[in-house]
A and B are shown apart, each in its own frame.
Chain A
């Protein structure tokens, strides 16, 4: 039997970073509709930092999450509609509202060592009958044993699968393999993987994850996402076919969605520029990129230097406020 991979599309979530959280209802409806027709398993729609992410710190959404979720819910027929929630930013109240608007998959993301803050959210999602996913971020910062320990917290809370995110795009395929393998070997629930392309390894790392038994793979049309973007989903689909696996998605339709719906809304080419390479190289959370570029302008210091210092200080996902702190400090030569 052919290996079946489930594609999770994050164009309308991680991709939200790349367009400065400017998605409109119409764009979401068009892109979600095209994705649905292309046969992906899950379509995630939320501010890049999850429910409640619209803020000074992470950037305000042009259109409220709930409206965007509704716009997607109105066009999706086959796929499941998902949302992301980062405890500490979003709350159970947000997830309940998202549920009412049609979200049926809730992915709850914490830093790789902090899964226990998400137990209440996983349980709340399960209480609503949602498909709940435990999502560990910045996995390059922890060893496989630690990741297994944290994944088990999610399993015990009732998660339906565990998603590992290389949020800094730091890992090489070996690093992905050992982290995915320890979970597929020891857990009774499926494992997923989320890559960033800061080192140009997103597709290769996704393939490594599949080879170690990951069933769910995140990707986005045109690779739209934070930093240098995510695994480009249409490329991944082609590679999956080349390997002789199945995903249930249709390559032609993905290509058409990328070309017709996503290309026109992109604000900049999704490439590995010097600063996004620096994210991967120094292990910094990918969504810091555009904030660092802005702070670079405001304080007259190089974005690269800001990112390197953030890496040295071991900042984790969500600490966008420290970009200003670092830029201010560098500008003062403190």
Chain B
């Protein structure tokens, strides 16, 4: 079967977990892992038989085979990478908070972004909460949506910690622009409990049409949509209606590809990114090459 060649820039935790996810895909080919220094991540990729480089983005730009590039570096680096990737005709999937391209939450707005060349994956909390916020807004019209994401301390990397405002500000913006709430607010909590807790996300919506039936149906349906690409996504507390306030709590257990299962926050953003790449590979790129009949759903490999 034809596969689309992809590269990952940034062989850290996110990049390494992405690598495992790409390797399980039946329509993506994990072609190149590139960083700027020799690192554990580069060694790991090489050991898996994957081509590696320490030339950073330069290793990607003049390669005609590579069509999709995951950028798992940092916001500053991606601001520099984005125009170069665009010029080279590569589809960029941006794991950083740079937000050069539009926010994408696959089950909500991927289909409407068919011409984009640069996709921003929002935040882990955004991937976990925007689908619910969107579903509730569709069913009941939210004037205000607020989310609380709690992640285990161990799964919060130095990047998240040094820029925690970016999480709250970006997630809040996505609640408005992607989920459609009139106003959004986001809170993040780190919990150091041992053994580490699974990621939990609470989505509060203040709604104009509090119809419990419609809200329930919409939430159940969107949870199933997310589960297509994040098997560990679970409705923990179904919609609770209290006047015009709707409370929904979801839990995310990671797939345990490279990162431990409690890192559901990292898993969900990576799983969403790979899902975006697969959809694009199937719908946009394979159409050009014309191999026909596989779907992104079929492209999703089995998860352990």
Spell out A's residues near B (CB within 8 Å).
52, 55-57, 87-89, 91-93, 111, 113-114, 116-117, 119-120, 141, 298, 313-316, 318-322, 324-325, 328-329
- What's the least CB distance linking B22 to chain A, in Å? 31
Tell me the residues in window 176-190 of chain B with beta carbons closer than 8 Å to chain A beta carbons: 185, 187-190
Complex: A319 Cα to B240 Cα, angstroms: 18
Q: Report whether A321 and B202 are in contact in the complex, using a CB–CB cutoff of 8 Å.
A: yes
Complex: A298 Cα to B197 Cα, angstroms: 26
Chain A residues with CB under 8 Å of B187's CB are 55, 57, 88-89, 318
Which of B153, B162, B202, B206 is the one whose CB lies under 8 Å from A119? B162
- What's the least CB distance linking B122 to chain A, in Å? 17
With contacts A116-B161, A325-B200 taken as known, whether A319 is within 8 angstroms of B190 at the C-beta atoms is no
B236 located at the interface, meaning its Cβ lies under 8 Å from any Cβ of chain A in the complex: yes
Complex: A48 Cα to B245 Cα, angstroms: 22
Q: Report whether A321 and B148 are in contact in the complex, using a CB–CB cutoff of 8 Å.
A: yes
Which of A113, A319, A324, A328 is the one whose CB lies under 8 Å from B192? A113
Q: Report whether B164 and A88 are in contact in the complex, using a CB–CB cutoff of 8 Å.
A: yes
Tell me the residues in window 123-150 of chain B with beta carbons closer than 8 Å to chain A beta carbons: 144, 146, 148, 150
Q: Report whether A120 and B185 are in contact in the complex, using a CB–CB cutoff of 8 Å.
A: no
Chain B residues with CB under 8 Å of A325's CB are 200, 202, 236-237, 249
Complex: A318 Cα to B148 Cα, angstroms: 9
Complex: A170 Cα to B190 Cα, angstroms: 21
- What's the least CB distance linking B164 to chain A, in Å? 5
Q: Report whether A56 and B168 are in contact in the complex, using a CB–CB cutoff of 8 Å.
A: no
Chain A residues with CB under 8 Å of B237's CB are 324-325, 328-329
Q: Which residue of A lies closest to B145 (CB)?
A: A56
- What's the least CB distance linking B63 to chain A, in Å? 37
Which of B144, B146, B165 is the one whose CB lies under 8 Å from A57? B146
B204 located at the interface, meaning its Cβ lies under 8 Å from any Cβ of chain A in the complex: yes
Q: Which residue of A lies closest to B203 (CB)?
A: A321
Q: Report whether A56 and B206 are in contact in the complex, using a CB–CB cutoff of 8 Å.
A: yes
| Additional A-B contacts beyond A313-B197, A315-B191, A324-B247 (14; CB < 8 A) | A55-B185, A56-B206, A88-B188, A91-B165, A91-B168, A113-B192, A114-B161, A114-B192, A116-B162, A117-B161, A120-B164, A324-B240, A325-B249, A328-B237
Complex: A329 Cα to B200 Cα, angstroms: 15
16 residue pairs A–B, Cβ–Cβ below 8 Å: A52-B185, A55-B187, A56-B245, A88-B190, A89-B168, A113-B192, A114-B161, A116-B158, A116-B161, A116-B162, A314-B191, A314-B197, A316-B192, A316-B193, A322-B200, A325-B237
B64 located at the interface, meaning its Cβ lies under 8 Å from any Cβ of chain A in the complex: no
Which of A92, A116, A324 is the one whose CB lies under 8 Å from B165? A92
- What's the least CB distance linking A84 to chain B, in Å? 15
Q: Which residue of A lies closest to B205 (CB)?
A: A56
Complex: A89 Cα to B190 Cα, angstroms: 11
Tell me the residues in window 221-247 of chain B with beta carbons closer than 8 Å to chain A beta carbons: 236-237, 240, 242, 245, 247
Chain B residues with CB under 8 Å of A321's CB are 148, 150, 200, 202, 204, 247, 249
B112 located at the interface, meaning its Cβ lies under 8 Å from any Cβ of chain A in the complex: no
Chain B residues with CB under 8 Å of A315's CB are 191
Chain A residues with CB under 8 Å of B163's CB are 120
- What's the least CB distance linking B299 to chain A, in Å? 35
Q: Report whether B249 and A313 are in contact in the complex, using a CB–CB cutoff of 8 Å.
A: no
Q: Which residue of A lies closest to B158 (CB)?
A: A116
Complex: A17 Cα to B153 Cα, angstroms: 27
B111 located at the interface, meaning its Cβ lies under 8 Å from any Cβ of chain A in the complex: no
B116 located at the interface, meaning its Cβ lies under 8 Å from any Cβ of chain A in the complex: no
Which of B144, B148, B162, B249 is the one whose CB lies under 8 Å from A120? B162
